[in-house]
Amino acid sequence: MSATDAIVVGGGLVGVAIAHGLQRQGLAVALLDEGDVAHRASRGNFGLVWVQSKGIGAPHYQRWTRDSAAEWPALAATLREATGIDPALHQPGGVTLCLSEAELAERAESLARLRRESGNAGYEYRLLDPAALREMLPGLGPRVVGGSYTPYDGHASPLHLLRALHTAFRDAGGAYHPNTTVATLRPAPHDFAVEAAGTTLRAPRLVLAAGLGNAALAPLVGLSAPLRPERGQIIVTERAAPVLPMPLVNIRQTGEGSLLIGNSAEEAGFDTLTQSPPVLRDMARRAVLCFPWIAGLNVVRAWSALRVMSPDGRPIYDQSERFPGAFLATCHSGVTLAAAHARLLAPMIAAGALTTAMSPFGAGRFDVQNAA
């Protein structure tokens, strides 16, 4: 039997960011992860820290995303200092390009709505014509009719981030249990028991942050996580000289020079072994219409990975009424929200309860939707 202050289930970006944040509050934490058999969004994502277009119709989500973007520089600095690993945050703002007047009208409407819904918090954005975009983005194609810019956006290296968070966690004395699948839990209010590597871990706090695995775990502690996989594909080109000064929603250039092309969404169940050439073709075609010079770059690899998707696409943060001390955290933007998870959510969990401002993120919202 081993007692600790908190057990976090899931060592992806969400779980390890929360575990790191709990340690910063002075808690002893055990982090359990299933291992390479699991579907792991944290190792297959695009790496955007993206605010633009998040939270339409959900001002609490817009605010949360912006808060996370604002906390990101402090997270990156803390991790760099503690581990020597640089998550490679670059936050110059970001652009979405439009290839038709209809797309541009839709962007204008979405951004105006985000500003309207942000109330006093304000929402900065600019709609740009092709001439203004050409000044910002070298080699823009003639098919681009306009675009939008928000100053909050950026990108990072998701693998460096994951590595830095795990290193910081372990260096601060965290107990990491890889290859440990949690299938059963013994819950009691403020006393949770989990089997790991032949011992029983006990803690007064339990955080379920197991990505798609949360769907099966949540009911064990009186919670619900109606999640489904949404497949995204990513294309990686050979390295090129630095050319893109800022990320776009579908194209970014890494610090090493590769271009990543992404932003597809498919319902493909749990299939990450195959890829769909028509989807890859459409992504590549759109990238070349935005920047014709991309056609001259060789593609070096491509992959599929699964987003952790709730019915409305927004995060679920919840706490169990039946088993106080049990929390759930899941989202489809774990890079963007890493700073919020480490620096804003973890202190609430350490204090024992989510604040009332977090209640719109609870899974109860789906019961209300189903009843309507």
Ligand X SMILES: Cc1cc2nc3c(=O)[nH]c(=O)nc-3n(C[C@H](O)[C@H](O)[C@H](O)COP(=O)(O)OP(=O)(O)OC[C@H]3O[C@@H](n4cnc5c(N)ncnc54)[C@H](O)[C@@H]3O)c2cc1C
| 42 part of the interface to ligand X, by CB under 6 A | yes
Separation of alpha carbons 73 and 160, rounded Å: 15
Separation of alpha carbons 238 and 34, rounded Å: 33
Residue written as token pair 């001002």: 59
**Cβ(16)–Cβ(166) below 8 Å:** yes
| 21 part of the interface to ligand X, by CB under 6 A | no
Separation of alpha carbons 118 and 8, rounded Å: 33
Amino acid identity of residue 44, one-letter, is G
* Options 93-101, 102-110, 211-219, 288-296: segment touching ligand X (CB under 6 A): 211-219
Single out the residue of 85, 306, 316, 346 in contact with ligand X (rule: CB under 6 A): 306
Separation of alpha carbons 163 and 79, rounded Å: 10
| 41 part of the interface to ligand X, by CB under 6 A | yes
Nearer to ligand X, 100 or 199 (CB): 199
| 206 part of the interface to ligand X, by CB under 6 A | no
Single out the residue of 23, 27, 39, 97 in contact with ligand X (rule: CB under 6 A): 39
| 339 part of the interface to ligand X, by CB under 6 A | no
Nearer to ligand X, 160 or 356 (CB): 160
Question: In the range 47-66, which residues lie near ligand X by CB under 6 A?
Answer: 47-48, 50
Which letter, b or e, does each residue of 296-316 get, where b requires 16 or more Cβ atoms within 10 Å of its Cβ? ebeeeebebbbbbbbeeebbb
Which helix (H) or strand (E) segment holds residue 334: the answer is none
**Cβ(176)–Cβ(170) below 8 Å:** yes
Please name the residues in contact with 357: beta carbons below 8 A apart, sequence gap of 6 or more: 60
| 307 part of the interface to ligand X, by CB under 6 A | yes
Kindly state the smallest distance separating residue 177's Cβ from ligand X, in Å.
Answer: 9
Separation of alpha carbons 117 and 369, rounded Å: 21
- Tally of CB atoms within 10 A around 63: 16
| 315 part of the interface to ligand X, by CB under 6 A | no
- Tell me, residue by residue from 166 to 195, as one string, x for binding to ligand X by CB under 6 A and - for no binding: ---------------xx-------------
Nearer to ligand X, 306 or 348 (CB): 306
Nearer to ligand X, 46 or 61 (CB): 46
* Options 45-53, 76-84, 88-96, 351-359: segment touching ligand X (CB under 6 A): 45-53
Separation of alpha carbons 24 and 27, rounded Å: 7
- 260: three-class secondary structure by DSSP: strand
| 91 part of the interface to ligand X, by CB under 6 A | no
How big is the site for ligand X, counted in residues (CB under 6 A)?
Answer: 43
Question: In the range 110-169, which residues lie near ligand X by CB under 6 A?
Answer: none
Single out the residue of 308, 326, 349, 358 in contact with ligand X (rule: CB under 6 A): 308
Separation of alpha carbons 365 and 96, rounded Å: 30
- 160 strand-pairing partners: none
* Options 32-40, 125-133, 279-287, 350-358: segment touching ligand X (CB under 6 A): 32-40
Q: Which residues bind ligand X (CB under 6 A)?
A: 9-15, 32-35, 38-42, 44-48, 50, 181-182, 209-211, 213, 217, 232, 234, 262, 305-308, 330-336
